[in-house]
Amino acid sequence: MKDDNEWRTAADTQYTLGMTYRNTSTGDQQANLEQAIACFQRALNLYSLQTTPIEWARTQQQLGMAYRGLMHDRQQYLSKALAAFQASLEVFTSEEYAVDRAQTQYELALTYLQMLGSNRRPLLFKALACLQSCLEVYTFERFPEPWAQTQYNLGNLYCLLPTDDRYATLRKAVACYESALRVYTPESAPEEWAMTQYSLANVYAFLPGGERQTNLERSITHYQAALQVNTYELHPDLWANTMQSMGNAYRNMPGDESEASLHHAVDCYQAALSIYTREHMPLDWASIYTNLGITYNLMSSGNEQSRLEQAVVCFRAALEVYTREFYPSEWAKTTNMLGLTYLDMPEGNEQSQLRQAIICFEAVLDIYTFAQHPLAWANVHYNLGHVYLLVQPKDNQEQQANLQKAIISFESALQVYNRKDTPYEWARTQSNLGNAYKDVHSDDPELHLQQALSCYRAALLVYARENMQDEWAATQGNLGQTYWKLARGTHQGYLERAIASFEESLQIQTYETALLEWSQNKYFLGQSYANLTRGDQQHNIRQALACYEAALRGFQALHLPVQIQDVQQHIQQARESLSRDLA
The per-residue pLDDT for range 20-46, each reduced to its tens digit, is 999 988 889 999 999 999 999 999 999
Under 8 Å between Cβ of 436 and 407 = yes
The pLDDT value recorded for residue 4 is 65
Total Cβ atoms within 10 A of residue 227:
19
**For residue 1, what pLDDT band results from cuts at 50, 70 and 90?**
very low
Mean pLDDT across 277-296: 97
Average pLDDT over residues 305-310: 95
Within 13 A of 330's CA, how many CA atoms are on the CB side?
22
R_g of the chain, CA atoms, integer Å: 35
Please say whether the beta carbons of 473 and 504 come within 8 A: yes
Hey, is 441 helix, strand or coil?
coil
Which pLDDT value is given to residue 489?
65
582: pLDDT strictly greater than 70: no
Q: What is the pLDDT of residues 533-557, one digit of tens each?
A: 888 889 999 999 999 999 999 999 9
Compute the distance between CA of residue 577 and CA of residue 541 in angstroms, rounded to an integer. Answer: 8
Which is it for the CA torsion 175, 177, 179, 182, positive or negative?
A: negative
Whether 580 has a pLDDT exceeding 90, the answer reads no
Segment 81-116, tens digit of pLDDT? 999 999 999 999 878 899 999 999 999 999 999 997
> Looking at residues 121-126, what average pLDDT do you find?
93
Task: Indicate whether 399 pLDDT > 90.
Answer: yes
Asked if 429 and 414 touch (Cβ cutoff 8 Å), the reply is yes
Report the distance separating Cα 579 and Cα 572, nearest Å. Answer: 11
pLDDT mean over 129-148:
96
CA 376 to each of CA 383, 497, 518: distance values in angstroms, whole numbers, following the listed order: 11, 38, 35
CA distance 431 to 417: 13
Task: Give residue-wise pLDDT tens across range 220-244.
Answer: 999 999 999 999 999 999 999 999 9
Question: How far is Cα 423 from Cα 458, in angstroms, rounded to an integer?
Answer: 11
Burial (CB count within 10 angstroms: exposed 0-12, middle 13-18, buried 19+), residue 425: buried
Q: How many helices (H) and strands (E) does the chain have?
A: 25, 0
Q: Give the residue from 112, 61, 113 showing the smallest Cα distance to 87.
A: 61
For residue 108, give every residue at least 6 positions away whose Cβ sits within 8 Å of its Cβ, in sequence order, or none. 64, 82, 85, 86, 89, 127, 130
Supply the DSSP string of 11-61, one letter for each residue. Answer: HHHHHHHHHHHHH--SS-HHHHHHHHHHHHHHHHHHS-TTT-HHHHHHHHH
**Calpha distance 92→86 (Å, rounded):** 10
Percent of the chain with pLDDT over 70: 98
Residues of the chain above pLDDT 90, percent:
87
Q: What is the mean pLDDT of residues 120-130?
A: 94
* HEC sequence for 545-567: HHHHHHHHHHHHHHCCHHHHHHH
Nearest to 33 by CA among 59, 71, 61: 71
- Give the predicted TM-score (pTM) of the model: 0.84
Are 272 and 240 in contact, with CB atoms under 8 Å apart? yes
Q: Would the pLDDT of 5 be above 80? A: no
Helices 236-251, 212-226: axis angle to 10 degrees equals 170
Q: What is the pLDDT of residues 452-501, one digit of tens each?
A: 999 999 999 999 999 899 999 999 999 999 999 999 867 899 999 999 99
Q: Using alpha carbons only, what angle is made at residue 255 by residues 260 and 470, rounded to the nearest 5 degrees?
A: 110
In this predicted structure, what is the pLDDT of residue 2?
A: 46
Q: Please write the tens of the pLDDT for every residue from 158-199.
A: 999 988 899 999 999 999 999 999 999 999 999 999 999 999
Q: Distance from first CA to last CA of the chain, Å, rounded?
A: 139
Residues 6+ apart with CB under 8 A from 388: 358, 402, 403, 405, 406, 409, 436
- The pLDDT mean for the chain works out to 94
In the Cβ-directed half-sphere of 56, how many Cα atoms lie within 13 Å? 16
Name residues whose C-beta falls within 8 Å of residue 230's C-beta, 6 or more positions apart in sequence. Answer: 194, 198, 238, 239, 242
For residue 532, give the 3-state DSSP assignment: coil
In contact, 163 and 169? CB cutoff 8 Å = yes
Query: Residue 442: what pLDDT?
Result: 83
- Region 297-308: mean pLDDT is 92
What confidence tier does 257 reach under pLDDT thresholds 50, 70, 90?
confident
pLDDT at residue 29 in the model = 92
Please name which of 120, 88, 117, 119 lies closest in space to residue 105, comparing C-alpha atoms. 88
Residue 93: Cβ-neighbour burial (10 angstroms; 0-12, 13-18, 19+) = exposed
> Which residues, 6+ apart, have CB-to-CB distance to 98 below 8 Å?
92, 137
